[in-house]
Amino acid sequence: MAEQMSQFEGRVAVITGGARGFGRAFGRALAERGAHTVLTDIDEAEVDRAAAEIREAGGQASAYRLDVADDAAWDGVLADVVARHGGVDILINNAGLHSLEYGVDWARLPVPKLRRLFDVNVMGVMIGTLTARPHMQGRTGANIVNISSSAAFNGMGAYGATKAAVRALTLAWARELGPEGIRVNALAPGLHVTDTIRAEFSPQMIEGHRHHQFLDLEGSEQDIVDAMLYLSSERARFVTGETIRVTAGYASSL
């Protein structure tokens, strides 16, 4: 833990989709290791609660309402973060539309929903990276972690296409930002059985997914948190442009 504390102490981490799920867990884990976590989410009340939870546990956290598809909103949030903290060390582009509602064939999603899906899942990553970039330059160990999905590897409808785009953006940004000393990587989670998944997926659906894994294990939120901590740390200083699959083999089995 002392080594981890030295890795993140005093670092500024901006996390989108920080009100719940992976984003909330990322904020908690980084704050426990000494980072100041900036949680953003379109759900203002819930992201405020997530940041308050971190502060009550002794960590440093602030919260902002942010629609990741809104470039003007990004400008405002990061201007305030930089004024308060001097820059950004870690950006986690976690916000995304998912769930059973979007994991369907293209024809089942009306155009307005498709547009919103791509605005959040793809444009949100692009705008966030573009906005944070000048505030990360020159900061030792600066890095970006994008959240893709196992669906990016199996052509799973519109949602899978957006997450495949995140993989492509990760590689493109790694090439472009490398000369500026900024690493860019992605995580592709499989089915990690969180409270949200249990609420949406039937036991039969979870079991069917597990049948395609190489390992007969139930994925947890902590599996993704641990992978994020690795990619965000100096232990991954030689890793960029990669999408790490955390799927127990699922993303390779179809």
Residues 158/109, Cβ–Cβ less than 8 Å = yes
List, in sequence order, every residue forming a beta bridge with 246; answer none if it has no partner. 189
Distance CA 17, CA 109 (A): 23
**Secondary structure element (H or E) that encloses residue 93, with its range:** strand 90-93
In the numeric block, which tokens belong to residue 154? Answer: 């199996």
Q: Which of 64, 159, 230, 250 is catalytic?
A: 159
Residue 187 CB burial class (10 angstroms; 0-12, 13-18, ≥19): buried
Catalytic (active site) residue 102: no
Q: Smallest Cα–Cα separation from 145: which of 19, 36, 229, 70?
A: 229
Catalytic residue ranges: 159
